[in-house]
Amino acid sequence: MSFQTTIERPASIRGAGLHTAALTSLRLSPAPADTGLVFRRTDLDNFEVEAHGRNVAKVSYATSLMKRGVWLSTTEHLLAALYSCGVDNVYIEMDNLEVPILDGSAQPFIEMLAEAGVRQLRKRRKYLKVIKPLEYADGERRIGIYPAEDFRVRCLVDFAHPLVGRQEVELKVGRETFTHLLARARTFCFFDDVERLRAVGLIRGGSLENAIVLTKDGILNASANGEGNGSGLRFPDEFGRHKALDLIGDLALVGRPLKALVVAHKAGHALHTALVQRLLADRCLWVETTEDAPTRAAELIPS
């Protein structure tokens, strides 16, 4: 029998947003059962924006939410940490519009959760169990969700770059697997795209301290934030792992723990969130259940 959870005590962090460069103080606070993951804009009288597919606003290089004109940007890394760690209910209090990018990964949010602790509530957890497949494609980009007894993701990326190429990861999603296999994987971009993105008002808070920057045949910040191996990477397949992290963060917008296998092939935020919205819109594809998932060995499978 599985019960809903919240955090034990508040935890706070402060940093700049990747795209706006806006400084934001972010605080996680306990919430009662059946609240879900709810953002509160403390600079706007605690206006609440639920982390849910119905509030998806924009998915250009990040996932943004909007409700009644109130905007929240770059939610995916924080939501990935909360969702993977099984936190069902929490208030995410922010005094600005963008979640801090910090080091470009979800590791700082995992550390926040370790500080906050997780507390069980006296109400059964409700899962969204997929019972029929749903597939969606945009050219060569594809995503699908399929029946499963637990929550697994399989994510493939393929970039024509000597340090990336084809990378595929698969894992059963949970606190341990996410913390050890995905949380430290950072966001990345191509140096040739930097000026174009800044010209349209994006990545104004980006730096070599919060993103991997790929040059034509290498990494611009090869000596920064790596493992002392000179590559600048925390994992040989850090790019594929970070895309899997983003996928999980976007799937959190389902609003309930999933029982499903999600397969993403060269997908991104637009396909991730489209899948969430199409799934939620069709009640023939899923049921709500309080049944626990069976225990299986967790694994990450490079391809």
Torsion angles phi and psi, residue 67, rounded to 5: -140, 125
Q: Please report, for residues 64, 210, 294, 295, the alpha-carbon distance to residue 15 in angstroms, rounded to integers and kept in the order given.
A: 18, 11, 39, 37
CA distance linking residue 144 with residue 234, whole number of Å: 29
Q: Which residues neighbour 193 within 8 Å (Cβ) at sequence distance 6 or greater? A: none
Query: In angstroms, rounded to a whole number, what is the distance separating the alpha carbons of residues 144 and 85?
Result: 23
Q: What distance in Å separates the CA atoms of residue 219 and residue 196, rounded to the nearest whole number? A: 19
Neighbour-count burial of 46, counting CB atoms closer than 10 A to its CB (0-12 exposed, 13-18 middle, 19+ buried): exposed
198-208: burial string, b at 16+ Cβ within 10 Å, e else: eeeebbebbeb
Burial of 294 (0-12, 13-18, 19+ CB in 10 A): exposed
Nearest CA to 18 out of 66, 80, 63 is that of 63
Going 150 to 151 to 156 to 162, the CA torsion angle's sign is: negative
- Other beta carbons within 10 angstroms of residue 257's beta carbon come to 21
Residues that are catalytic? 269
